[in-house]
Amino acid sequence: MRNSFPFVVVNSTCKQADCARGVGMSKETAFRLAKKALEDEILATSIYAKLSKRFVQDPLGSKFHQISKMEGDHVRYWRSFLEKRGHDVTSIRVGKLKLMAYGYMPAILGRGLTLRVMEMSEGDAVDLYSEIMEAHIAQEPEAQMLKGILEDELVHEQEFYKEESRFEGFLTYVKDAVLGMNDGLVEILSVTTGLAGVYGNSLQVALGGFIVAIAGALSMGISTYASARAQRQVHEGILRRIARASRYVAHVFTERVSSHMSKRGYSKEVSKAVAEESVKHHETLSRFIAEEEHGLRREALVNPMMAGSYAGLFNAFGALLPLLPYFFGLTTAAAVLLSVTLAGVTLAATGLLVAILANMRIRTKIVEMILSGLGSAAATYLIGKIASFLLGINSI
């Protein structure tokens, strides 16, 4: 292996500021980043090619096709980069299972959530390439080519963000649906396992759980509706007040706009010019003040009825899953086991959706959701067993 990798190698400890710039990065770490980049680009090329075929009759399909070609160029860059330094890259290839999962993603998650996943992937790529750039592992002209790849990834991320913004309203209601489903699932899983610990009778558990599930779904739907309606009324009042003020006394906002621009780092001259220009356009001014001072956008206001419906219906759906096994006439032990299994799978799916919607690490969120949900069920089962013993209730 030739030692042509152009970076500074010092002892294994370095100051935080230096480490952030890549100084002191080990040779192994630098090569690991390069191999990770190649692996990701190979996967991305295949994924985008597959997605372009799924959206072949859609303008989005051509975008996927173009991005796939660009990712293919990135693959060639990293292969050449590593091979020049004596690395065998033939073993780096696409995982068939992962590729299959991405291929079926639009059918499973829908278009809006698929775009969110792809935006997250591009965001991860931007982070990786930023880390590689800070490590200074490439010489000219490779360094300029590497900058070009980083630019490509930023463009891709922005493309998906623009496409995804068209589904913003839908994604807002998906959040209500996911949270409602998770609440119903964990609540009924805990209730049924607790009742199973007390009574040990599947029918009694099923009836008790069903009553709680109906009450919970109604409560979730009504409370979400009431909360969303109250919040919308407050926000509409703020937006209405700002719109009126900007129309009739726009000049009073001049200093506030200038102050906001200065806080963002713009010069006094630019800030003043923007402020003076904004008061000439009442709608632009009102949007600026609403977003900057209140974090509000009229397009983002939630429909209370939709929010309540999504939350209530999916709460009922989430509650039904762990409850079903108790209606099958199984023994209590078998019903509990099947209920926990169904809940575990659903909690994993819920964790996946929450991670996508919140732009979080998927694996971490799935583990967190499973442990919290099943941990709650285990605790209530134990409480039920203790209650059964103390109250002298015979469990089967």
147 in the same domain as 53 = yes
308 is written with which tokens? Answer: 């309540």
Mean pLDDT of 120-132: 78
162 in the same domain as 42 = yes
Residue 157 to residues 109, 115, 124, 148, 358, Cα–Cα distance (Å): 19, 10, 10, 14, 16
216 in the same domain as 337 = yes
Nearest to 195 by CA among 369, 332, 392: 332
* Domain termination site, one of 138, 166, 194: 166
Residue 268 host element (H or E):
helix 268-278
In a domain, 3, yes or no: no
204 in the same domain as 244 = yes
196 in the same domain as 50 = no
The residue type found at 311 is A
Rg (CA), the chain: 27
147 in the same domain as 197 = no
Q: How does residue 115 score in pLDDT terms, banded at 50, 70 and 90?
A: confident
53 in the same domain as 138 = yes
Using CA atoms, how far apart are residues 231 and 172, in angstroms rounded to an integer?
A: 14
Give the number of domains in the chain.
Answer: 2
For the segment 228-271, what is each residue's pLDDT rounded down to a tens digit?
A: 899 889 888 888 888 888 888 888 888 888 888 888 888 988 88
334 in the same domain as 208 = yes
Using CA atoms, how far apart are residues 315 and 169, in angstroms rounded to an integer?
A: 20
Instruction: Give the pLDDT confidence score for residue 222 in this predicted structure.
Output: 92
* Domain termination site, one of 166, 185, 208: 166
The residue type found at 258 is S
Instruction: Give the pLDDT confidence score for residue 168 in this predicted structure.
Output: 63
Q: Biggest alpha carbon distance in the chain?
A: 81
- Residues with Cβ within 8 Å of residue 61, at least 6 apart in sequence: 51, 52, 53, 54, 55
Residue with tokens 């090569």: 31
pTM recorded for the entire structure: 0.60
In a domain, 77, yes or no: yes
257 in the same domain as 152 = no
374 in the same domain as 239 = yes
197 in the same domain as 139 = no
191 in the same domain as 334 = yes
For the segment 151-181, what is each residue's pLDDT rounded down to a tens digit?
A: 888 887 777 777 766 666 666 777 788 888 8
In a domain, 5, yes or no: no
HSE toward the beta carbon, residue 304, CA cutoff 13 A? 15
Question: What SS3 state is found at 293?
Answer: helix
In a domain, 2, yes or no: no
Q: Please give the angle made by the CA atoms of 285, 288 and 290, to the nearest 5 degrees.
A: 105
Q: Which domain holds residue 80?
A: 16-166
In a domain, 343, yes or no: yes
In a domain, 86, yes or no: yes
284 is written with which tokens? Answer: 């632009």
Mean pLDDT of 358-384: 81
In a domain, 47, yes or no: yes
Mean pLDDT of 218-229: 90
* Domain termination site, one of 144, 166, 188: 166
In a domain, 1, yes or no: no
Using CA atoms, how far apart are residues 233 and 230, in angstroms rounded to an integer?
A: 5
